[in-house]
Amino acid sequence: MSPPGRLNELDATSLARLLQRREISAEQVLRACLDRIEAREPTVQAWTHLAPDLALAQARVLDRGAIRGLLHGLPIGVKDLFDTADMPTGYGSPIYSGHQPMADAAVVARCRAAGAIVLGKTVTTEFATFHPGKTHNPRRAGHTPGGSSSGSAAAVADCMVPLAFGTQTAASVIRPAAFCGVVGFKPSYGSSSRAGVKNLSESLDTIGVFGRSVADAALFAEVVTGDARLSLPDETAASPVLRIGLCRTFEWEYADADSVAALEQGTRRLAGAGVMLADCELPAMLSSALQLQIDIMAFEAAANLAAERLNHPTLLSAALITLFDAGIRISPAQHQANLVAAARARIAIDACFDEHDVLIAPSTIGVAPAGIDRSGDPVFCRMWTLLGLPCVHLPFATGANGLPVGLQVIGRFDRDAALLAAARWMHGQLQSDQKR
């Protein structure tokens, strides 16, 4: 059987099905991705390191052997915050130029064992904070792809790879997914091992994934977390009767016309599809969640990057030094009080899910801003990251200038499978509206 054309443009679930049936080979998929990278990387600049020869050798081994697992033969991008035993890892900083780890990060090892092929390392902002790398938005060069998982989101959006890793401490999965127009999934806090991933904030850091569909994200996340509950049922299953809470958040004033229009368009379509839609009023105590996230992140970043801060100050960006200065001003006693307040906030938000199966909210202020010197404002993601809730970005619309925009779907803690199932159905409804 001859393979479908443009294999790099197929989503991960379609590729996985063809690979499992041996209807296409891992080498064919990989070569299609490499051709795309050769054509587009000079413009997009999503990668810090590529290993095509190593990847091709691995693809040939997979094609000769037994099916390894769910990701058999799928090329993936690994954010340059994750250790890789066979590729350098620079954490987005000149301090670690040429640094070669001795072992893979735990989640990278899991993916290789499931048959994934690590094609290379994708660009991250400096230590996954705010100072951007070289990547351009694949939808329009000269615009930011978002951060910190900039290269991963761009590579998936530009069909260089079907899947890629991200991390989120503030907005580093959801925001680049929104700006680049792909699906981004941040699981519940603590759902996967962070061993071998550069630590920024132990109270907030969460490993996430990018794909071109919700099913892609679920497939990848199932391997990353080892949680078989994330396996989505057949799409022919009966449509759910969802109770959706419209949550404008305490930061609604920051949403621009594009973001407001996308949320309104999305709610109209979902209401027309028969969901039970109602406003969600957040507990008043969550009005301080934004500042809590800012303070916890700053304190822990200054502590966790102490070696870099104390020994290599001239190799740090001004933005990172400013973050460190803010963290140093917070006392250990205040940090402990902030952690207590965060724990109480997580208890308070849970009551909202007694009335709503999922919440929808803006992902970003608007579309990707012009310029790559900044990665965009994380204001609409900070609270959800603090609360540790699973979140999915769904792209389905465009702003006035033609760049992608969508909305964020938020689920109950440790109800990631239910969130993904709801998000897949919702995305289908939103995309059908777009095609009309």
What pLDDT, on a 0 to 100 scale, did the predictor assign at position 436? 43
Active site residues: 79, 148, 172
Q: How far is CA 212 from CA 177, 209, 229, in A?
A: 10, 10, 21
Three-state secondary-structure class, residue 395: strand
What region, left, alpha or beta, does residue 380 occupy, with left being phi > 0 and alpha being psi -120 to 50 degrees? alpha
Could you tell me if residue 333 is inside a domain? Answer: no
Q: Is residue 221 part of a domain?
A: yes
d(CA 236, CA 423): 15
Q: Is there a domain that residue 365 lies in?
A: no
The percent of residues in the chain predicted with pLDDT above 70, rounded, is 97
Cα–Cα distance, 375 to 282 (Å, whole number): 28
Q: What is the CATH number of the domain that holds 47?
A: 3.90.1300.10
Residue 405, amino acid: V
CA 188 – CA 173 distance, rounded (Å): 13
432 belongs to a structural domain: no
Q: What is the pLDDT of residue 234?
A: 75
CA 376 to chain CA centroid, Å, is 15
β-bridge mates for residue 397, sequence order? 405
* Residue 429 within any structural domain of the chain: no
| Helical ranges in 192-314 per DSSP H | 214-225, 257-272, 289-304, 306-311
432: Cβ contacts below 8 Å, ≥ 6 apart: 269
Is 387 inside any structural domain? no
pLDDT above 90 covers what percent of the chain? Answer: 95
Mean pLDDT for back-to-back runs of 10 residues, the chain (436 residues): 79 98 98 98 98 98 98 98 98 98 98 98 98 98 98 98 98 98 98 98 98 98 97 73 96 98 97 96 97 98 98 98 98 98 98 97 98 97 98 97 98 97 96 62
Q: Is residue 403 within 8 Å of 367, Cβ to Cβ? A: yes
As a whole number of angstroms, the distance between CA 167 and CA 182 comes to 15
| Per-residue confidence (pLDDT) for residue 236, from 0 to 100 | 61
The domain in which residue 143 lies consists of 7-230
In a domain, 277, yes or no: no
Residue 25 — φ and ψ, nearest 5°? -105, 155
Number of domains in the chain: 1
Note whether residue 349 is domain-resident. no
